[in-house]
Each structure stands twice: as C-alpha cells, then as structure tokens.
Amino acid sequence: MRRIGSLIAFFTLCVCITTIALAQTPAEFKGHTGLVFNVAFSPDGKTLATASFDNTVKLWDFANGKELAVLKGHTAPVYAVVFNKAGDIIATGSQDKTIRIWAKDGKFLRELKGHTEIVDSLAFSPDGKTLASGSADKSVRLWNAEDGKETKNLGSHKQSVYTVAFSPNGELLASGSNDTTIKIWEVKGQKELKMIGTPPKEPEKPAPKKKEKDDKKKEEKKEEKKKEEVKKIEIKDLPDVPEGITGVAFTPDNSQVMAVGFDKKLRFFSVADGKETKKLPPTPDDLFGLALSRDGKFVATSGYGGSLRVYELDSGKTVFSHQLSVSDKLKKLVTYCVQFAPDGKALVTGHEKDYAARVTPIKEGK
C-alpha cells in the first residue's frame, strides 16, 4: 500500500509539472496577418492586446497564449490600443481616422470621429473618465470616455503627433510630435502649459531665379571654391540635433517627462521649467518604444532595429541590454513597441517578422 501511495504521489507530481510547463507564457504570440504595431496589458495583467496592420486587435490570455477574442471593425491598420484603469474598456485608434471603444470581452460599443488623419496614440486618464488622442492631423484631443463625445481639441503641433501620456496624478497630459517638441497640457483647464523644444522653421520659399547666360567657366570656379571649403572643415562630433518624438511618459512623482525618438536617446525633462535634466547614451537604433515598469523603478526602450534596453529609473544605470543577432537582423525583425510583462521579468514587443508579439526575458547584467 505504501508503494502504491508513493506511485500515486509520483504521477500526481508529474502531472502538476506538465501542467505548469504547458501553462508557461509562450515566447511569441502569433495569429495576425499584418505587423504588430502596438501592445497593451489589462490592469490585472491577465490579458495582452495586440494591435495590427491587418485592421484587427487580438486579445490573448498572457499566461498560456490562448487567443480570447478578435476585435474587428476598423477598415485600416490599427496603430494604438489601450485599456482603462478598471480594465473593462479598451480603446483602439486606426489609420481609418477613427477611435473605437470596446468592452473587455471584445464587444464593440461605439465609434469616435473627429480626427482627419491616422490616430497614432491613445491614453486613458488615471480615473478612466477621459481619453486622450494624438493624430497625424497634428492635433491632440480629449474625449469623454463614457459617451464618446469630444470634450476638447486642445491644439496642434507643427507635424504629426506620435504619442500622448497622462501624468500619474491625472493633472497633466504630454504629447510628442515629429516636429521634435513635447507639449505639456493642463487637463482640467484644457490648455497648453508649455512647449519643450523648438519646432523646425518653415522652409523659406526660394526667390525666383533670374535668367542667366550659360557660363561654363563661372560654374567651374564655383565648384573649385566648394572643394577648397570642404577641405578646410574639421570633422568634429555631430551636434545634438533635435529629432522627432515617438514616445513620452511621466515619472511616478509627476515631476519629469521622459521622451524617446529618432535621435536614439532617452531624455528626461523637468515639468516645472521644461529643462533637460538627464540624457542617456544613444542606442544603435531609432527608438520607437518607451515603457515604465509597474513598480515605477525601471524604464524600457525598444529600437526600430531590435535593440532593447532597461534602465534603473533613478540612476539611469543600464540593467539589461539586448541586441539582435546578425541572423535576426537579416530576418528584418523590425520592432515597433515595448511593454513590461506584468511581473516585470520580461519585455513584450511588437514585430513585422511573422506578424508576432515576442516575449524577451529580462536577465540582469545582459
């Protein structure tokens, strides 16, 4: 009897181990027929949403990779997906110029119209009552999350708005644009507080050229002069030229706004005076993704070419670095976004290759 009891215990253990193994989060979430441009987690961390250029959003059980629902209705690529704080509402933004609101089970609730170009970014306020949107039509807008009505068109950037984010206390909204600037908006007062950076000047219209006779010798002299001038130029470090902003996020204490973009750097700016407080070394790629861990201690960036970084928020120290292998680069494993897994032990990224979302474990010191 003792032997039978031991065998039963052994087989029970084997079944438990097998069950745990099967329940592990998969390395990839596949199922879309277009690239994955954005990912988001429900507040409880159980559901992963993936927004794709196949015009759909898929909901997955993050623990086992099971597909839970497909959100169909957009008529063009989906650029943005976000959950509200309660986790019962999902908002999506698309190239079809609309925002769609869904229940957590994937049921369509309503459509929000107003933007005249791609809806690039969405963010729910901490209390869940307000939805913010940024668009290629250059505008930043606020919407009533309950009835879907537009509350306010806050204003515009000079170029496309790629990203919007609320401060943790819900009092401020930050928007980042391809015009190289970040704008800070007061949510309650529905007005612009400050602009960080300077947008590029509008190109001057060339003066009409006067008709001149073709003078070959004159042109030759000009070319010689140019060559001499080039020789005299000393090659120095490239200047810190502002580039488009693709991601913004506030620090947990609401005092700073972080930004990434085409200059390949993670920068920190003071909300009070707009001055840069910290700048981390450039990564190999243009940065397309920015995410803060749930405990607020770490920040992650993702590069277009697949580079991933995790930094300690307070010190700026790099705690994790992942670079694609040459073989992966040849596979064109383009990376569009990043989020921390709910437990903070992995990063989830959206890709063009295999139209998948990938899970990369965070290994300290690598």
DSSP per residue over 30-86, as a string?
Answer: ---SS-EEEEEE-TTS-EEEEEETTS-EEEEETTT--EEEEE---SS-EEEEEE-TT
Cβ–Cβ < 8 Å for 348, 81: no
The Cα 46–Cα 68 span in angstroms is: 11
Q: Give the angle 33-289-355 at the CA atoms, nearest 5°.
A: 10
> What is the structure's pLDDT at 134?
98
CB 25 within 8 A of CB 62: yes
Which uninterrupted H or E stretch holds 261? strand 256-261
Give me the long-range contacts of 256-262 (CB less than 8 A, separation at least 24). 257/165, 257/174, 257/182, 257/184, 257/196, 258/290, 258/292, 258/299, 259/176, 259/182, 259/290, 260/287, 260/288, 260/289, 260/290, 260/301, 261/176, 261/180, 261/286, 261/287, 262/286, 262/287
Which among 334, 288, 292 has a CA at the least distance from the CA of 311?
292
pLDDT for res 242: 82
Identify the pLDDT of residue 200. Answer: 80
How many Å apart are CA 242 and CA 200, to the nearest integer?
A: 9
- The reported pLDDT for the residue numbered 227 is 46
Would you state the pLDDT for residue 333? 76
Mean pLDDT by runs of 10 across the 366 residues of the chain is 43 38 76 98 98 98 98 98 97 98 97 98 97 98 96 97 98 98 97 93 56 50 50 43 93 98 97 96 94 98 94 96 69 87 97 94 76
- Distance from C-alpha of 6 to C-alpha of 14, rounded to nearest angstrom: 12
Cβ contacts of 109-115, under 8 Å, gap ≥ 24: 110/148, 111/73, 111/148, 112/143, 112/148, 112/150, 114/141, 114/150, 114/153, 115/139, 115/141
Tokens standing for residue 281: 């070394």
DSSP at 358: E
User: How remote is the C-alpha of 152 from its chain's centroid?
Assistant: 24
What is the pLDDT, as a whole number, of residue 6? Answer: 46
Give the per-residue pLDDT at 33.
97
